[in-house]
Structure 1
Amino acid sequence: MDKRMRKRILMTVLGIFAGGVSVGFFKTAAFGVDPFQTLMSGLDKLIPIHFGTLYVLTNAVLLLFAFFTDRHYINLGTFINLFLLGYVVEFSHNLLLRFFPEPALPLRLLFMLIAIFMLCISSSFYFTADLGVSTYDAIALVLANKWHVAPFKYCRIATDLACVLLGCTLYLLAGGKFSMLPTIAGFGTIITAFFMGPLIDYFNIHLAKPFLEKE
């Protein structure tokens, strides 16, 4: 195995696990989670099974999209996302709550900023590694790179907004309280929905690609 491939594997594994930890920060901050996790929160409210198991099942369904549109995006990263990410999210969230059971507002704001930047940087690294992406990430990539609907950042904004709207709808249909919506779709979610695509593009150029190409 050459050095470049080892780097790509490292970027894939660390990127995905850091992304899972970032969602734990989102949940602890309670200003809303990232758009896909908003959808997962709605499904979690609607379907009474273990979150890690629900995450695997949801991604298994979404895997069909990548399988029938562009199998290039199905690789190591896809299966790490599929089988492990839900459990990483759950573990990191529980660990943060253990140390910060009732975080004050400034700490919650800090956690939200950490979550946004960690998620964008980690996504950039494992996208650049090009060893498979999550089943959800594949949707925007297929729209942008295979079907040429629009540049990636705009496709990502569209899919993120769709996740937020669907997640909120499912949450309310399952009996969730309207007053609790900001915890799954707060201003942290909106910031992420509109800026995650452009930030990933930025970190691709300035961090991930230089890291991969550096000798």
Structure 2
Amino acid sequence: MTSNPQNSNPEASEEKDSPNVSLNKFADVGLRALMAFVGIAILSTGTTLLREGNVGLDPFTATNTGLAGKLGAGLGNVQLMVNLVIFVLVLLLDRKKIGIGTIMNMVLVGYEIQWFSIIYHQILPNTVNIFTIMTNLVFGLLLFTLGSSLYMGARLGVAPYDAIAPIISKRTHVKYRWARITQDIIFMVAAFFIGGDVGFATIIVAFFTGPLITYWDTHVSEKVMQGITDFSSTPSFRTAGKQLVNVGRISYYVVRHAYELTEKTQRQLSNYTDQELDERIEMTRNRSKQLSQVYENTQKQLRLLQGEADKRAK
């Protein structure tokens, strides 16, 4: 996951007693809290798809599933307890990273994954096969990164786990990227040894979700934040309704589209001949290779651009 946006406190206005200023602040924080809440729900949905597809989870959740299995407890309870321990450390080391979004993430994600898993099994019972695995992998990653972008883009604090690497980077002067990769690797290894849900997606989440989150930042989160800013400057019920409808529409269509494609794929499985099945597998494999090449080319372009920027900065 990429570097989290820092929590920025709005400047205090000179007209503290003005009702309009108070209303603006209430609208801004309220809508950003709603944005974070929706983002966390989408993130949890994506994590559920990854979990039910047996392709692995992000290192932190994978570790918590392993602990839950060892302790015989629910994922929600275990994830909350682990979050509380890390939360205390973050509170002592850098409380500026704590906000409403921090509390929502640490409390909701584990329980939402449990709840969404129940719904998943009611809709698609006993459907683990090559196509549902690939579908869950793709849409799970898309929803996981979209949700991460929304909840972090709201700038109301980060999850306790996401605050570890920035704190280490700041105190040890190690680059954030390497601090985060090291952190994820440690949790990934821990998850593996305690029987957590480690798989292909765990490695992807640990190393390669940055470009996806950046994409969602540009095409969704920044636009949502701009709408919140526009409304907060001139709040009205009519404007609020439009903004809420837009946010709801985006979230609804993303989740619905993922579900419809998963369901469509499942319905078509029984109609495939052995030859068609082999062809679909080969086609999916080729698409995966193409996506890998696109990612590599994008990284090369990013390195060239960053190199040119570094030269000009000297």
The TM-score normalised by the length of structure 2 is 0.59
Q: Deviations over 1:118-154 (max 9, x none)?
A: 1111111111211122111111333456765224x54
The equivalent of 1:213 in structure 2 is 226
Counterpart-to-counterpart distance in 2, 1:201 and 1:161: 22
Matches for 1:1-215 after TM superposition, within 5 Å: 1-2=23-24, 3-103=27-127, 104-144=129-169, 148-151=173-176, 153-171=177-195, 184-214=197-227, 215=230
Gaps of 5+ in 2: 1-22, 231-314
Residues 140 and 196 from structure 1, CA distance in 2 versus in 1: closer, same or farther, beyond 3 angstroms?
Answer: farther
Counterpart-to-counterpart distance in 1, 2:70 and 2:202: 20
Number of equivalent positions = 203
Tell me the secondary structure at the aligned position of residue 92 of structure 2. helix
Question: By how many angstroms is 1:160 displaced?
Answer: 1.9
CA contact (8 A) 1:120 1:203 kept: yes
Counterpart-to-counterpart distance in 2, 1:141 and 1:202: 22
CA contact (8 A) 2:86 2:161 kept: yes
Hey, which bits of structure 1, 4+ residues long, moved more than 4 A?
144-148
Gaps of 5+ in 1: 172-180
Q: Deviations over 1:76-124 (max 9, x none)?
A: 1122122222110001012111211222321221111111111111111
Counterpart-to-counterpart distance in 2, 1:208 and 1:148: 30
CA contact (8 A) 2:79 2:106 kept: yes
Superposition RMSD on alpha carbons, in Å? 2.1
Q: Which has the larger radius of gyration?
A: 2
CA contact (8 A) 1:4 1:212 kept: no
The TM-score normalised by the length of structure 1 is 0.84
Question: By how many angstroms is 1:159 displaced?
Answer: 2.1
CA contact (8 A) 1:33 1:185 kept: yes
CA contact (8 A) 2:60 2:188 kept: yes
What is the percent sequence identity of the aligned residues? 27
Tell me the secondary structure at the aligned position of residue 102 of structure 1. coil
Tell me the secondary structure at the aligned position of residue 209 of structure 1. helix
- Higher RCO by CA contacts (8 Å cutoff, separation 6 or greater): 1
Residues 198 and 159 from structure 1, CA distance in 2 versus in 1: closer, same or farther, beyond 3 angstroms?
Answer: farther
